[in-house]
Amino acid sequence: MFANLVSFQFEDLPILCERHTTSKLSAYEDLQTIKSMGFRGEALASMTYVGHVTVTTITEGQLHGYRVSYRDGVMENDPKPCAAVKGTQVMVENLFYNMAARRKTLQNSNDDYPKIVDFISRFAVHHINVNFSCRKHGANRADVHSASTSSRLDAIRNVYGVSVVRDLMEIEVSDENAVDGIFTMDGFISNANYVAKKTTMILFINDRLVDCTSLKRAIEFVYSAILPQASKPFIYMSINLPREHVDVNIHPTKKEVSLLNQEHIIETIKDAIEEKLMNSNTTRIFQTQTVNSSALAQANTQKEKGTDVSTATGAKSQKIPVSQMVRTDPLDPSGRLHTYWHGQSSNLEKKSDLVSVRNVVRSRRNPKDAGDLSSRHELLTEIDSNLHPGLLDIVKNCTYVGVADEVFALIQHNTRLYLVNVINVSKELMYQQALCRFGNFNAIQLSEPAPLRELLTMALKDDESMRDENDKEKLEIAEVNTEILKENAEMINEYFSIHIDQGGNLTRLPVVLDQYTPDMDRLPEFILTLGNDVTWDVEKECFRTAAAAIGNFYALHPPILPNPSGNGIQLYKKNKDQMASGEHADNDLTSTEEDDVDQELLAEAEATWAQREWTIQHVLFPSMRLFLKPPKSMATDGTFVQVASLEKLYKIFERC
């Protein structure tokens, strides 16, 4: 657990985990107005009796923090200075290590873990200003990862997905003028289009997660009475009442509470939901499907008899001018170029429906409060102030069409078609993500440590500007850069999750986007950029240049292997003299004999380019819609280029 707003003084560390140290009560009368979940100050103390607790804390103005371990309520040793981010981190390990019977009951994690995920998910929806992450031991990614946000809908989207959010309605209830008591309720409820087999109800009363069976049954009764289908609702509610109207001590686990005038409150909420549902039930959304042959024959028969099919079925539609008709959207892939390339689709594309990459992208929102460094906040403010509103609208509401060439991809926004420079967009996205996830990265563990000297030597050999330098000078440059990176290893590991061990070996890299690993062929160039181009002695410029280096490394550059499509297959001929001369055969690939082509290298190239195209569609563009804040420069530097407008095309071809 990490709290960036709470820090403990060095003098308080000896008593931090003693019983009642953090109690919220100062007088007996405080029991009547309890709001917090815990109030006796025994949370930290109880954890030290059943697990190994380590606390890392730093207060504002300190040059370093302190780390100390606790056992049975007392410190195991004196606090030790350490590097830390402002705030307090509490880590509990080896839970129930000293209670064999209790630990034995936790052996079946398959039963307990879903309950933990559900619990964390509910808190992530309510506490939108807090980052939540839950990952099973041994898993590569978190099952819940919701970052702080200003929008409740964004929090629900992070946890439960866009399929839930699009069918939600906001609801507010206030009874401030009532004589019996004052209460307010705000939240979101599902509309008539939502379909689920089980009710999902997230209820917070005075910021306390509780269950209320009577309220849940009343709401389910309203839905079953109004909606004909047996679908269960999704409900999120936050109810606020005076503290003295809530009794929190009626259940041992604090799972339930008792309210003053509970019947009146439930009836008021039920009436508001009923009115909201009745108003929303006037419109419904139905998913279309392909008409079968018998239905089509029946429609044709009606047409021959002069009967209007739409009139016969009672359907009403409003015509949209064909010049303004948008035939595809982000949720409907029917208009994408890939739907017409069935013969060329790779196994990666066929498997894409089985991999819910968008859920991964949604679940990993930007942790905006990962660090409290003014330099980082200034860089994020610069990104916000340099935002281009028009491009932001295009990015948020665009539809991916397909890859145009090695550099550009096609997207659709309303009735316009754009070319997008994939390299520029991905580079800017990775730069912004490096700053947004600052100090809060997951990590890619390298299978084998990579020596910095070898990486730097490889990069210097390929660097055009170093062609005139001899090998001795290159080794000296590699040695200097290695020492620079080793000196700053602790900082770049803390903030960017780039881990360099004491032997000068690179062992970990950051996860900038989930489901995406950078091109490791560009790793030597990245290490050389870190050593040469990062301004280590100025904090703000250090963060800017380091994030820029990460952005360039993680950007979706074209693979080093040439594109094998079209005439590119000629480059994979075994006849090297012909490859060097640049002679090309006829465009017909059948003219290329299989014996003349390096099939192994060709297969590797095809897989690499197919992987890049898949990543652009299923990782880059979903992440771009969620995270990218396009700068104003992208409007003029060729990153976004409009190539067609439906209205203008109809002006030209409407007579054809």
SS3 track for 329-374? ECCEHHHCHHHHCHHHCCHHHHHHHHCCHHHHHHHCCCCCCCCCCH
pLDDT in tens, 224-260: 877 766 678 999 999 998 888 888 777 777 788 888 8
**Residue 600 class from Cβ within 10 Å (0-12 exposed, 13-18 middle, 19+ buried)?**
exposed
Q: Residue for token digits 């709401």?
A: 219
Q: How far apart are CA 343 and CA 351, in angstroms?
A: 15
| pLDDT at residue 163 in the model | 87
As given in the structure block, the two tokens for residue 89 are: 């981190």
Domain borders along the chain are 2-107, 167-280, 333-429+603-650, 442-511+520-554
Q: How far apart are CA 349 and CA 599, in angstroms?
A: 22
Element (H, E) at 117: helix 109-126
DSSP H helices in 500-597 = 523-533, 539-554, 576-581
Please state, in angstroms and as integers, the Cα–Cα distance from residue 214 to each residue in 265, 274, 423, following that order. Answer: 11, 16, 56
| pLDDT at residue 42 in the model | 78
| pLDDT at residue 40 in the model | 64
416-421 vs 408-413, strand pairing mode: antiparallel
Buried b (16+ CB within 10 A) or exposed e, 106-128: eeeeeeeeeeebeebbbbbbbbb
The DSSP annotation for 221-241 comes to HHHHHH-SS-PPPEEEEEEE-
- For residue 339, how far is the Cα from the chain centroid? 27
- Reduce the DSSP state of residue 469 to 3 states and report it: coil
Contact 68, 78 (CB under 8 A): yes
**What is the architecture of the domain spanning 167-280?**
2-Layer Sandwich (3.30)
184-190 vs 168-174, strand pairing mode: antiparallel
Element (H, E) at 592: none
| pLDDT at residue 578 in the model | 47
As given in the structure block, the two tokens for residue 552 are: 């360039």
User: 211-214: long-range contacts at Cβ-Cβ below 8 A with a sequence spacing of 24 or more?
Assistant: 211/255, 211/256, 212/256, 212/266, 214/262, 214/266
- For residue 126, how far is the Cα from the chain centroid? 18
- Which residues on adjacent β-strands are paired with residue 184? 174, 240
| pLDDT at residue 317 in the model | 45
| Residues of the chain scoring pLDDT < 50 | 288-291, 293, 296, 303, 306-317, 334, 342-365, 367-371, 578-592
Among 356, 345, 405, CA closest to 618:
356
- Which residues on adjacent β-strands are paired with residue 597? 573
Q: How far apart are CA 474 and CA 185, in angstroms?
A: 68
SS3 track for 77-110? CCCEEECCCCEEEEEEECCCCCCHHHHHCCCCHH
- Which residues on adjacent β-strands are paired with residue 189? 169, 235
Contact 399, 412 (CB under 8 A): yes
Q: 135 — alpha (psi -120 to 50), left (phi > 0) or beta?
A: beta
Among 206, 197, 274, CA closest to 232:
197
| pLDDT at residue 361 in the model | 46
Q: How far apart are CA 308 and CA 314, in angstroms?
A: 10
Please state, in angstroms and as integers, the Cα–Cα distance from residue 601 to each residue in 21, 233, 372, 517, 542, following that order. Answer: 66, 54, 48, 21, 40
**Domain 2-107 CATH (choose: 3.30.565.10, 3.40.50.10470, 3.40.50.920, 3.40.50.300):** 3.30.565.10
Q: What is the pTM of this model?
A: 0.49
| pLDDT at residue 647 in the model | 75
| pLDDT at residue 606 in the model | 84
87-93 vs 442-451, strand pairing mode: unpaired
